[in-house]
Amino acid sequence: MTAHLSHPLRSDARDNRERILDAARAVFVAEGLDVPIREIARRAGVGPATLYRHFPTKESLVAEAFTDQMMACRSIVDEGLADPDAWHGFCRAVENLCELLARDHGFSAAFMSAFPHAMDFAAIRTSSLTGAAELIRRAKDAGRLRPEIVLDDLLLMIMANNGIQASTPAARIAASRRFAALMIQAFQASPESAPLPPVPRLLPLPPR
């Protein structure tokens, strides 16, 4: 979304903008979209006036953070498609998508619920699904993906991954990595008994 800027930003302004976006993404993921603008500015190490110069409204800030998230998803799919080894590209895409969405922790869903008319979600969704379908086709053509696997199976995987609940962000990410490994073995045409990532502690131990 930086394309709408009418002239290049100075290096200090670019640094401020990136700090604001980094702080906003972290706060939105951890605490939701209701965090005050002043708190985001404080965590970014800038004044509220600096934040408002870059993002005149809270909606514009949230939308930019969301766009970065969607671009990251699309980049993961593109990197998978660029891999000359179709199966390796598919597996890396599954692993990276699951981890990204575990870090996201519902931010995308919250944004689409709070700002349903802020962006053309249909275009973003169509582009991502087209790339995911091509990942599936390439892996099937290579003989590594089970022939009955369809795009809806990937969507089901994403929905299940989004439902992971854990006591800490680190545990949620660890659980997502293990889940991705399990899914890859389930998708594979000839499953191999590869070692799984460690089992994370999802909930605190009950008191004795």
The arithmetic mean of pLDDT across residues 6-26, rounded, is 78
Q: 91: closest CA among 184, 176, 159, 156?
A: 184
How many CB atoms are closer than 10 A to CB 2? 11
* CATH superfamily placement of domain 63-192: Tetracycline Repressor, domain 2 (1.10.357.10)
Q: Which helix (H) or strand (E) holds 160?
A: helix 151-162
CB 164 within 8 Å of CB 176: yes
pLDDT of residue 93: 96
User: What are the tens digits of pLDDT across the range 127-176?
Assistant: 888 999 999 999 999 999 999 999 999 999 999 998 888 888 889 999 99
CATH class of 9-56: mainly alpha
> Does residue 3 have a pLDDT over 50?
no
The arithmetic mean of pLDDT across residues 78-100, rounded, is 96
The arithmetic mean of pLDDT across residues 183-203, rounded, is 79
CB 25 within 8 Å of CB 17: no
> Does residue 28 have a pLDDT over 70?
yes
**Structure tokens of 172?**
């949620």
**Global pTM?**
0.75
> Does residue 194 have a pLDDT over 60?
yes
Q: Domain limits of the chain? A: 9-56, 63-192
